[in-house]
């Protein structure tokens, strides 16, 4: 996979079989950690995932805002 340019920013397309063959499914809640030359995507299960899903169910515009403003959600 090669990093491409999208909206003048580096982009890495992660979708479809790239995710599903590694155990990720639609609706999963994940964390993304960045460090020098490394990106780690991990599934969140349990109480944190349920908290996030309830938060989005109660206010669906959160996902739209997160995409629009490139925001990350941290659920403690």
CA distance 17 to 58: 30
Structure confidence at residue 74 (pLDDT): 65
Structure confidence at residue 44 (pLDDT): 84
51-71 pLDDT, tens per residue? 888 888 888 888 788 778 877
2-54 pLDDT, tens per residue? 788 887 888 887 778 888 888 888 888 888 888 899 999 888 888 888 888 88
Say yes or no to pLDDT of 76 above 60. Answer: no
From residue 66, how far is each of 6, 18, 56, 57 by CA, in Å?
Answer: 17, 23, 11, 14
> 41 — phi, psi (to 5°)?
-110, 125
Structure confidence at residue 36 (pLDDT): 94
Helix, strand, coil percentages in the chain from 3-state DSSP, rounded to 5: 30, 25, 40
């Amino acid at each position: 996979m090669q990093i491409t340019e999208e909206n003048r920013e580096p982009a890495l397309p992660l979708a479809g079989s790239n995710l599903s063959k590694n155990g990720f499914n639609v609706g999963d809640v994940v964390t993304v950690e960045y460090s020098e030359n490394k990106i780690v995507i991990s599934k969140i299960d349990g109480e944190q995932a349920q908290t996030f899903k309830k938060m989005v169910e109660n206010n669906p515009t959160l996902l739209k805002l997160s995409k629009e403003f490139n925001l990350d959600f941290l659920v403690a």
